[in-house]
């Protein structure tokens, strides 16, 4: 492990994010090569939190674009400030230079910047999080290609706007659909898996320093065995933390059948999954993870 990677791991640890060497290397290359990083993995493995931790580590702003079906230019890049344009027209409609109004009202002073344009207009590098890109339409990926490859955006009335400072771009995907090869080619890539048992215990103990080691071990053992079951939605790291917090608040020292019955809603969010666990012997989920 190089000194740069080791230093990055320590800095992220201070941001309450535990990096392994492989992911730390991807983050290092994201910064060094100024190339977008595509993170894929199951929901709840910490993809979004990585972007937040990176912004904290750099002491810069996090600009987040949450993707959804039907996302368009007006929501992501820019739209015109029509009220300001109309006010300008009324103020100068009798002016002898009224023919120049068109050029004046279609300038940057009349643009409402949305996340993508904000990210390249900042005076210093920001972290741009394009979250759950797989939820957006394929057409939206085409909007992104120019930004991801050249850090610039083309606006018909204004021409090409190049980045003042290149943002650090992180894209996340839960793989609800396959992303285009064109987008993948422009990015570094990392698959974010569920953490090992030891790492997840470290995460819980970092976030909840008052938790007893045995309870943290039971929580993570239970969660890891749940992930190997046939569930509608396997629990992520956030659910592990929520459950651990719940058990601490209730002053529970061990996971028992009664505890599971009363608190499993902190972990599982689908009726069928809850019933599946309640109908099982709790001891099955506390067996050592294989």
pLDDT band of 103, cuts 50, 70, 90 = low
Structure tokens at 216: 């943290």
Alpha helix locations (H) across 45-179? 47-58, 73-76, 82-92, 101-105, 115-121, 138-150
Helix 237-249 / helix 213-227 crossing angle, nearest 10 deg: 140
d(CA 178, CA 99): 49
DSSP 122: -
181, pLDDT greater than 90: yes
At 120-169, the pLDDT tens digits run 999 999 999 999 999 999 888 888 999 999 999 887 777 788 999 999 99
> Which residues does 119 contact at the CB level (< 8 Å), separation at least 6?
63, 126, 128, 163, 167, 169
Q: Find out if CATH 3.40.50.300 is the number for domain 3-73+114-191.
A: yes
Task: Let me know the angle formed at the C-alpha of 80 by 76 and 86, rounded to the nearest 5 degrees.
Answer: 160
Structural domain boundaries in the chain: 3-73+114-191, 78-110, 197-285
d(CA 95, CA 263): 70
Mean pLDDT, the chain, whole residue set: 89
At 202-215, the pLDDT tens digits run 999 999 999 999 99
């Amino acid at each position: 492990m190089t000194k740069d990677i080791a230093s990055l791991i320590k800095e992220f640890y201070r941001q309450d994010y535990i990096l392994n060497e492989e992911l730390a290397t991807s983050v290092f290359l994201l910064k060094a090569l100024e190339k977008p990083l595509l993170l894929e993995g199951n929901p709840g493995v910490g993809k979004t939190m990585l972007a937040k931790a990176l912004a904290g580590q750099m002491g810069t702003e996090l600009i987040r674009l949450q993707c959804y079906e039907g996302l368009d230019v007006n929501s992501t890049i820019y739209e015109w400030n029509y009220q300001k344009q109309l006010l300008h027209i009324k103020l100068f409609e009798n002016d002898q230079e009224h023919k120049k109004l068109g050029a004046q009202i279609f300038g940057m002073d009349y643009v409402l910047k949305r996340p993508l344009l904000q990210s390249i207009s900042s005076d210093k590098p920001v972290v741009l999080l394009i979250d759950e890109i797989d939820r957006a339409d394929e057409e939206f990926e085409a909007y992104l290609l120019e930004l991801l490859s050249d850090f610039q955006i083309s606006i018909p009335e204004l021409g090409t706007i190049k980045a003042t400072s290149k943002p650090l771009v992180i894209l996340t995907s839960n793989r609800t659909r396959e992303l285009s090869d064109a987008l993948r080619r422009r990015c570094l890539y990392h698959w974010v898996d569920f953490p090992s048992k030891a790492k997840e215990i470290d995460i819980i103990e970092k976030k909840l320093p008052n938790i007893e080691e045995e309870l943290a071990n039971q929580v993570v053992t239970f969660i890891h065995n749940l992930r190997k079951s046939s569930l509608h939605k396997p629990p992520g790291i956030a659910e592990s933390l929520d459950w651990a917090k719940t058990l601490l608040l209730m002053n529970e020292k061990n996971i028992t059948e009664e505890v599971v019955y009363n608190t499993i809603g902190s972990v599982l969010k689908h009726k069928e999954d809850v019933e599946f666990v309640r109908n099982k012997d709790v001891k099955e989920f506390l067996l050592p993870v294989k």
